[in-house]
Amino acid sequence: MFVVVLVTVVQGWGPVATFDERGSPASDWAVDSTGFRDVLRVVEVIFDTVGQTLMVLLVTVLMLARGHRRAAAYVIGVTLTTFVVTQVLKALVGRARPEWQLEDALLSSKSFPSGHASSTTALCGVLIVLVVMLVRRGNVRRLLYVLIGLVDVAVCLDRVLLGRHFPSDVVGGFLLGTGMVLLGLAVYSPLPRSHAELLPDLTASPYPTSRRLSVILNPSKVEDVESFRAIVTSMAAEAGWSPVTWRYTTVEDPGAGMAEASAIEGADLVMVCGGDGTVREVCAELAGTGIPIGIIPAGTGNLLARNLAIPLFLRAAIDVALTGQDRAIDMVHVEGDGIADDTYFMVMAGMGFDAAIMEGVNDEIKARVGWIAYVLSALKSLMFPAAKLEVSVDGAEFTTHRARTIVVGNVGYLQAGMPLLPDAAIDDGMLDVVLLHPRRFLSWIPLAFRVLAKRSRTDELVNRMTGRTVAVRASTDTPRQLDGDSIGAGRELRMECIHGRVLVRVPR
């Protein structure tokens, strides 16, 4: 399509010339309104060569920081190639700028194809590719598609309305940028390679195995179940696993029954795809069996995966599950009023403010915007009333405290890398405890600073404890949560860390 436009421009084909000139006077294309012209000039400057270079570098650095090196190379390759090809074509075609272009900052370079249009379209195209790769929620993806498309359209219109380019210049630039994005996908995949490719092979077992793989899937957490199945099946076959056995969680059985069936079947690896609640159920059932668990994070928090350095990108997580190494981690047994005897958690338990957040999350909003639903709930629960709490660590005497929340953690980091329990380790056989008591609304500011700065000082605002067993008693019924799931109000939690009980797959 670009070649067709190129030929018609070079040959001066009548219909294209008429389209470019818009009849007489041609200057009607340009904008006369001073205010609107100023807005268009701002768009022009933002998306000029310098501005777009900074945007490309920002996206590249972000991809590298997230561990997506191939995606970063794809961004650089497509945008740089588009820029070079555009400049070469400008020199070859040699088309002059429209006579009616805006007099402010007159452009004297050649006109076809539009550099703004080709570069912006290339950048928007690679952003759409990254959205397809990395954003799971369909409604969020669609919103981003619309926003990215509007940016591209705005820049393209800007070139014509300022009189910088003929319409065919912009159409040619758009087609060129789109072609470079598609060509880039054809010659180079931005998807990550197996993390094990450049590492030495793990020691093979001397005993033959059929390498049976069982996948436990929470279907509500995956937008396209069939697509997910196809990805897992193809990657498992490439890694040498036998045909996959699939099991789906239900409302009545969130994972324990499927994990038990997988163990009875003799699975060599159980892959679980879901949120922290689904992962907790499977880990609790397979604890002590020696069967490794591959975690495919598909929930909102995914705190266990984050703390084990398991990537949140589905393909990368599947790769780690299939080719990673096994690591023994702790799990925590929980008792308390209204809690079943065989209850466990893998990440964190809490009473007070944090549990009120989980209890107050609107499921419909959570389904639409993900973790933002927790932020909204937190804002509503920010001044949750302080409770009188009694805490005993390792069987010592109970000590009395006032706090808005108490969190007992098997891991240390929350979303966005917030180090709530920076000294916690998931395989040290210990539990880390933090009590938070901001007395006033503004007290949350120094509290947040101390948490982010990993300050070890303890006082009434932030108090920390460590032990193998922890018992917490509240004076009144208080909201409680395990791994982000509300378990209802109560007055007691008794927790014991069981060291090295669960085997999980982590990156090598």
Rg (CA), the chain: 29
Q: Indicate if the alpha-carbon torsion angle 206, 212, 216, 219 is positive or negative.
A: positive
Query: Which single residue is written with the structure tokens 């007992």?
Result: 408
Q: What is the pLDDT of residue 26?
A: 44
- Over residues 292-314, the mean pLDDT reads 89
pTM tops 0.85: no
- Over residues 497-501, the mean pLDDT reads 93
Domain final residue, candidates 267, 291, 323? 323
Domain shared by 76 and 223, yes or no = no
Mapped onto helix, strand or coil, the DSSP state of residue 19 is helix
Provide the Cα torsion 84, 87, 89, 93; round to 10°.
-170
Q: What is the pLDDT of residue 179?
A: 95
- 415 or 410, which is more confident? 410
Provide the Cα torsion 427, 428, 430, 433; round to 10°.
-80
Domain shared by 119 and 80, yes or no = yes
Domain shared by 221 and 264, yes or no = yes
For residue 423, pLDDT over 50 is answered with yes
Cα gap 39→89, rounded to integer Å: 29
Of the CA atoms within 13 Å of residue 223, those in its CB half-sphere come to 11
Q: Indicate if the alpha-carbon torsion angle 307, 74, 318, 343 is positive or negative.
A: positive
- Over residues 103-119, the mean pLDDT reads 81
Q: What is the pLDDT of residue 208?
A: 47
For residue 105, pLDDT over 80 is answered with no
Domain shared by 22 and 154, yes or no = yes
Do the domain assignments include residue 205? Answer: no
Do the domain assignments include residue 80? Answer: yes
Do the domain assignments include residue 201? Answer: no
Structurally, the chain folds into a number of domains equal to 3
pLDDT confidence of 119, banded at 50, 70, 90?
A: very high
Query: Which single residue is written with the structure tokens 């768009």?
Result: 43
> Nearest Cα to 255, choosing from 281, 220, 229?
281
- 108 or 155, which is more confident? 155
- Over residues 155-171, the mean pLDDT reads 86
The answer to whether 259 and 286 are in contact (CB under 8 A) is yes
Q: What is the pLDDT of residue 23?
A: 47
Domain final residue, candidates 272, 295, 323? 323
Which regions of 404-468 does DSSP assign to beta strands (E)?
A: 405-409, 431-436, 462-467
Q: What is the pLDDT of residue 459?
A: 78
The mean of the pLDDT values for the chain is 86
Report pLDDT digits (tens) over 440-486: 877 778 888 888 777 777 778 889 999 999 999 999 999 999 988 88
For residue 331, pLDDT over 90 is answered with yes
Report pLDDT digits (tens) over 234-290: 999 888 888 899 999 998 999 999 999 999 999 999 999 998 889 999 999 999 999
Q: Tell me, what CATH number does 368's domain have?
A: 2.60.200.40
The answer to whether 491 and 478 are in contact (CB under 8 A) is yes
Domain final residue, candidates 269, 289, 323? 323
Pairing of strands 325-335, 485-506: antiparallel
For residue 16, pLDDT over 80 is answered with no
Q: Long-range pairs for 178-184 at CB < 8 Å and ≥24 separation?
A: 178/121, 178/125, 179/1, 179/2, 180/78, 180/81, 180/82, 180/85, 180/118, 180/122, 180/125, 181/78, 181/121, 181/122, 181/125, 181/126, 181/129, 182/125, 184/74, 184/77, 184/78, 184/81, 184/126
Do the domain assignments include residue 230? Answer: yes
Q: What is the pLDDT of residue 164?
A: 83
Count of CB atoms within 10 A of residue 178's CB? 19
Domain shared by 33 and 182, yes or no = yes
Domain shared by 143 and 219, yes or no = no
Q: What is the pLDDT of residue 81?
A: 95
Domain shared by 269 and 149, yes or no = no
Report pLDDT digits (tens) over 336-361: 998 887 899 999 999 988 888 887 77
Domain shared by 414 and 451, yes or no = yes
Share of the chain above pLDDT 90, in %: 47
- 33 or 182, which is more confident? 182
- 109 or 182, which is more confident? 182
Do the domain assignments include residue 508? Answer: no
Pairing of strands 245-248, 269-274: unpaired
pLDDT confidence of 200, banded at 50, 70, 90?
A: low
Residues ≥6 apart with Cβ < 8 Å to 473: 389, 390, 391, 398, 491, 492
Q: What is the pLDDT of residue 37?
A: 74
Do the domain assignments include residue 198? Answer: no
Do the domain assignments include residue 14? Answer: yes
Share of the chain above pLDDT 70, in %: 91
- Over residues 163-190, the mean pLDDT reads 91
Q: Tell me, what CATH number does 249's domain have?
A: 3.40.50.10330
For residue 13, pLDDT over 80 is answered with no
Domain shared by 319 and 348, yes or no = no
For residue 395, pLDDT over 70 is answered with yes
Domain shared by 303 and 406, yes or no = no
Do the domain assignments include residue 195? Answer: no
Q: What is the pLDDT of residue 209?
A: 55
Domain shared by 317 and 398, yes or no = no
Domain membership of residue 274 as a residue range:
213-323
Domain shared by 22 and 57, yes or no = yes
